Amino acid sequence: MIKKIDHIAIAVHNLESALETFSNVLGCAPGAIRIEEVASEKVRVAFITLGESKIELLEPLNDESPIAKFLAKNGEGMHHIALATDDIEEERERLASLNINPLGPPKEGAGGKKIMFLHPKETNRVLLEFAQKQH
């Protein structure tokens, strides 16, 4: 079952600079920020906790990163919406029964979560991530 919006992700050229902007705009405490490198996605990410949800800032690690390609094509801006689920396999099966298939099987993402993405063509040109916290 989908529980809530886990985070909204924004692609940026420079993580430090974007982090300063968002920290100022949101007025958040330094303790609300967590930075992590996700080698599998070739990105460096910053999560800013906002109550029940987060904002994720995504910076490419190199030109091979999907985020580098996104930035080259679209510039900075919203990249995806992530939905928290308690059972990603159940969601995958539910979607498959509707003939909606994720971009590959669930894999490990930031924060050790199990994640999968739906192609934006499935959902009105918005990239959706499903994320399950590991127990």
CA distances from 15 to 12, 21, 38, 74, 79 (A): 6, 10, 14, 17, 14
Q: What radius of gyration, in Å, describes the C-alpha atoms of the chain?
A: 15
Query: Judged by CB, which is closer to Zn ion: 56, or 59?
Result: 56
Here's the x/- map for Zn ion, 78-107, by CB under 5 A: it reads as ----x-------------------------
Interface with Zn ion (CB under 5 A), residue total 4
Which stretch in 17-25, 27-35, 54-62, 69-77 sits in contact with Zn ion by CB under 5 A? 54-62
Q: Is 12 in the site for Zn ion (CB under 5 A)?
A: no
- Closer residue to Zn ion, CB minimum distance, 97 or 122: 122
Is residue 57 a contact residue for Zn ion (CB under 5 A)? no
Nearest CB to Zn ion, comparing residues 67 and 82: 82
Tokens of 94: 């539910």
Distances (CA, A) of 43 to 2, 35, 57, 89, 99: 25, 11, 10, 25, 30
Under rule CB under 5 A, residue 9 binds Zn ion: yes
Rounded Cα gap, residues 112 and 95, in angstroms? 23
Measured from the CB atom, the residue of 82 and 118 that comes closer to Zn ion is 82
The phi, psi pair for 22, rounded to 5°, reads -70, -35
Interface residues toward Zn ion, by CB under 5 A: 9, 56, 82, 129
